[in-house]
Structure 1
Amino acid sequence: MSAHDRRLLAWAYLSKVVLGSCPPLAQLISAVGPEDAARAVRERDLSSFLDRRTSARAHLDTAARDLDLVEALGGRLVTPDDEEWPRWRLLAFDGLGAGRDDAGPLALWVLGQRRIDDLTARAIGIVGTRAATGYGEHVTAELAGDLAVEGWTIVSGAAFGIDGAAHRAALGVGGLTVAVLACGVDRAYPAGHGRLLQQIAGTGAVISEYPPGTTPARYRFLARNRLVAGLSDGVVVVEAGWRSGARNTASWARRLGRPVLAVPGPVTSAASTGCHRMIREGEARLVASAKDVVEEAGPMGVDGEQDGVSLARDLDALSGESLQVYDALPGSGSRGTRELSVESGVPIARVRALLPVLELDGFVGSDETGWFRR
């Protein structure tokens, strides 16, 4: 690597050291920059907490090799310094809490030539069980294919079953799809999806917050789920068992203020018990077509039909703290963030995180007087 790449080398080194998100390190980088942060980690010139978090891997500096490897695969490391960083999407993680699991990614390793912010500007996450039935794969293909034709990027986790069906359907209609991995992008996981991942990278993107060489692990799949939710306008669960990774993704979507949608299945199907439970308990809205999905997760305020897919959206797409903040806005006029916090009962840090997301989704606007309903 050339000398002018020292900043990127620092990012790659830090990504290797923490293997995932690390809010205290992200704060240090924001304060002093990645190069000084990398120096502090190497020299262990850190707070006691951050030193404990980084000391076990601080000696591992394979940054140049990792960057060379990803570049040889046709990829790159995307950091918050870059214009393509999906900052609007990831804003929803701000204010969730101080825990590692509540934070956005430190950086993203990417295979594919398209910009990440463009790919995720209009995206739907589709997830479900690995043990998909013929019914589940059929419904997934219909939903993903129709949405991809309408210009929506399909985001999923590249697993067997529903994930793979969603990716293949998007590719089959010439659409865009993004695979989020729980391992390094240099690893095809599952191995049986090696060719599929190559196809995804060819037109869309394969993404991971983990550097090359990182192996899959259970907690990394759970961490991966938050990125599938965070990079999407909403999450559709097609088939899911009573306890499943798909329901974990749906839980993340709710925390991040994203609509959660579920497809009903036969009442006798064990593969759909999780979907039925989410619908019954009000955790998800029932959807049966791409039109339903767009009505719930698409842009608000556009009337009419486009090729049979409605572009309208109503307030039922909002839930939890997002709905509390929206309801705290006056029917006319505007309110500041502190007033909204008091009125809604939502902590002010969380209000500040949710408002840009609501604005991006078309629910609210802002001017010099504060925030108002659209």
Structure 2
Amino acid sequence: MSADILNSLARRVGDGVAAVRPAAAMADSEATDPVEAVATALLGYVSEPGDGVLGRLVGALGASGMATALLEGRSGRDIAGQAVTGLGPADAPSGREVTAGLARWGPRLEEDAFARSIAQAARVGARLLLPGDGDWPEGLDDLGVHAPLSLWVRGRPSALAERPSLALVGARAATGYGEHVAVEAAAGLVDRGLAVVSGGAYGIDGTAHRAALAAAGTTVAFLAGGVDRFYPAGHEGLLGRIVETGAVVSELACGAAPTRWRFLQRNRLIAAASDATVVLEAGMRSGSLNTAGHAAALGRPLGAVPGPVTSPASAGCHRLLREFDAVCVTDAAQMAELVASVGGGVGGSGDGDDDAMTGAPPPRRLEMLSSAERRVLDALGTRRSRPIGDLVRDTGLTPGAVMGALGALDATGLAARSGEGWVRRPPDEASVRPGSWS
């Protein structure tokens, strides 16, 4: 019976899986079993990025084994006991951890919605990339149990495996100085044979992508939502151009919306998939500092471009240089040296210039709130009341964690009861001031 329940789901979504996992794409893959692909996609659909408990369970039981346990409604204690056999008592999650995980994943276990997500991926031409595929970026494996279970790719999957690669990141509120540096850096890196990786956001990210495209180079954009709907909407044209020659990538299933939490988790993929990371321009609250933190935690070379000492837009870069041993880089040649220092094999001189994986430096946003409180706040609207069940499904938290977060948000005046649910109140900027979350 264990195999039957997963096989039944695989038959139901078989056509969609066949479209997103074509035989040609799997020619050099270790992951050729369509049932395993369905199981992996299902686990990615029900979980939030970077879920370390699920990562450990998949390591112990395999994707098929874990998906079957979830579909069968097995208890946390039972699943944890099986995981001990595969991992040993020191590394296996406890029964309490697995039970809490089931409370997070269970509300999203809707077969109809999962089938629609797979069908949507097939409609937009997305491809499901699994560990073991030839185009899987091996650097993501350094994330350990927090690594993505799968990736959804629009464009050319092989762009992810191109080496060397370098992440160019920075604030959305870029200045003319920052944009100039981004153009020169991206063009110079392409001239030297590097692929440019970034997050597709406004400001530095978008400028780096455009410059790489203009130089006829490879560029990869990691998104914080599903690849079926490009975000930000103002970059739909840019992301469409990236699809033509490079790749637009996400670990989230089609239909998933971007949230602050997912942006922070997306940043770990940018850092892990690249051989080095350079922050071009960043204020003290820029989301790019989070990417830098992941790069530092992973042991990747980290560079920062200095700016005017009077410019708040460069204060984050100066902090990286002063406090976190980032290398001072001022042009593409120096940035390329970061990759060469780890054996990146840079060619051509050119003429142009879980939650435990947050890394250092820590992001300074919504400082008064915990991770769970931020996720719940993201899911609340200012007009339409959201019941507890909806918040559990949208945040991936347990009901108890959601209610605890709501209590804290209520106490600080950020959320309030409304009818049968909860609504968000605009934050008092004197007490809670969110920063950029790109």
Q: Is the TM-score greater than 0.5?
A: yes
Quote the residue 1:73 is aligned against. 124
Quote the residue 2:264 is aligned against. 222
Aligned partners of 1:221 and 1:304: how far apart in 2?
A: 30
**Cα displacement string for residues 312-349 of structure 1 (whole angstroms, at most 9, x for unaligned residues):** xxxxxxxx9xxxxxxxxxxxxxxxxxxxxxxxxxxxxx
Root mean square deviation, CA, Å: 2.5
Q: Secondary structure at the match of 1:238?
A: strand
Note if contact 1:22-1:106 (Cα within 8 Å) is conserved in structure 2: no
Provide closer, same or farther for how the CA distance between residues 85 and 142 of structure 1 changes in structure 2, counting only shifts above 3 A.
Answer: same
**Cα displacement string for residues 94-122 of structure 1 (whole angstroms, at most 9, x for unaligned residues):** 3xxx7xxxx11121111112325523x31
Greater Rg over alpha carbons, structure = 2
Provide closer, same or farther for how the CA distance between residues 209 and 302 of structure 1 changes in structure 2, counting only shifts above 3 A.
Answer: closer
Aligned partners of 1:192 and 1:274: how far apart in 2?
A: 26
Deviation at 1:223, TM superposition (A): 0.5
> What is the one-letter code of the residue matched to 1:294?
A
Aligned partners of 1:178 and 1:27: how far apart in 2?
A: 28
- Residue among 110, 120, 130 paired with 1:59: 110
Identity of aligned residues (%): 45
| Runs of 4+ residues over 6 Å off in structure 1 | 301-305
Q: Secondary structure at the match of 1:244?
A: coil
Aligned partners of 2:284 and 2:37: how far apart in 1?
A: 43
Aligned partners of 1:169 and 1:80: how far apart in 2?
A: 30
Aligned partners of 1:60 and 1:222: how far apart in 2?
A: 28
- Residue among 41, 45, 49 paired with 2:74: 45
**Cα displacement string for residues 111-138 of structure 1 (whole angstroms, at most 9, x for unaligned residues):** 112325523x311001111111111101
**Cα displacement string for residues 266-294 of structure 1 (whole angstroms, at most 9, x for unaligned residues):** 22211111111211224311101111011
Aligned partners of 2:308 and 2:226: how far apart in 1?
A: 37
Q: Secondary structure at the match of 1:236?
A: strand
Quote the residue 2:161 is aligned against. 118
Provide closer, same or farther for how the CA distance between residues 308 and 113 of structure 1 changes in structure 2, counting only shifts above 3 A.
Answer: closer
Aligned: 1:189 with 2:239? no
Quote the residue 2:185 is aligned against. 143
Deviation at 1:46, TM superposition (A): 4.2
Aligned partners of 1:136 and 1:302: how far apart in 2?
A: 26
Provide closer, same or farther for how the CA distance between residues 302 and 164 of structure 1 changes in structure 2, counting only shifts above 3 A.
Answer: closer
> What is the one-letter code of the residue matched to 1:295?
E
Aligned partners of 2:245 and 2:313: how far apart in 1?
A: 31
How many residue pairs get aligned? The number is 302
Provide closer, same or farther for how the CA distance between residues 302 and 214 of structure 1 changes in structure 2, counting only shifts above 3 A.
Answer: closer
Aligned partners of 1:128 and 1:249: how far apart in 2?
A: 9
Aligned partners of 1:21 and 1:213: how far apart in 2?
A: 18
Aligned partners of 1:43 and 1:61: how far apart in 2?
A: 17
Aligned partners of 1:61 and 1:31: how far apart in 2?
A: 28
Quote the residue 1:285 is aligned against. 327
Aligned: 1:17 with 2:46? yes
Q: Residues 313-332 of structure 1: matches in 2 within 5 Å?
A: none
Provide closer, same or farther for how the CA distance between residues 304 and 83 of structure 1 changes in structure 2, counting only shifts above 3 A.
Answer: closer
Aligned partners of 1:67 and 1:278: how far apart in 2?
A: 41
Note if contact 2:136-2:161 (Cα within 8 Å) is conserved in structure 1: no
Aligned partners of 1:194 and 1:292: how far apart in 2?
A: 32
Provide closer, same or farther for how the CA distance between residues 53 and 250 of structure 1 changes in structure 2, counting only shifts above 3 A.
Answer: same
Q: Secondary structure at the match of 1:206?
A: strand
Name structure 2 gaps, 5 residues minimum: 1-13, 19-32, 77-98, 353-359, 361-438
Aligned: 1:211 with 2:253? yes
